[in-house]
Amino acid sequence: MIDNERSSGSSKDIDQYYPITIIKESNLELSLLPSLSFQHQFSPPSITIAIWKDERLEQLDISNDLIEILQINGFTVERILEYGPSQIAKIIGIDDFFAQIIFNKTTKKQKKQQNDSRFHK
């Protein structure tokens, strides 16, 4: 038996719209912020999500736009190496050619860092 009161309440929850605001900061807070203007006083709260970014991506020899796209999509050096070019292209919606460049540059940088750390031991 279906509880009509519950099913109608849950469909209302699903139908609500919550705009998402992405803030690129080192702060990792997730919060619901009340609307500040009178005009939007009765609108639902927006959700603020902070993105942690792998600073090592900024050391790669690729464009800042690609770095930003990778960071927005939660990529790290390890994730790039784990996924490979085809998965990178699929996840962030870029051409395989550019995903291969990202993968190659990341692999090259990782190998260089490993070699450097061996010589400094």
Residue 53: other Cβ atoms inside 10 A: 19
CA distances from 86 to 49, 56, 109 (A): 28, 21, 19
Domains of the chain, by residue range, sit at 1-52, 53-121
Q: What are phi and psi of 85, to 5 degrees?
A: -60, -40
Please state, rounded to an integer, the average pLDDT across all residues of the chain.
74
pLDDT band at 18 (very low <50, low <70, confident <90, very high): low
Each residue of 25-38: pLDDT tens digit?
554 544 444 444 44
Average of per-residue pLDDT across 63-70: 93
Distance CA(74)–CA(28), nearest Å, equals 13
pLDDT, residue 39, reads 45
Which of 22-36, 41-55, 102-116 is predicted least confidently? 22-36
Half-sphere exposure of 81 (CA within 13 A, CB side): 11
| % pLDDT > 90, the chain | 45
pTM recorded for the entire structure: 0.57
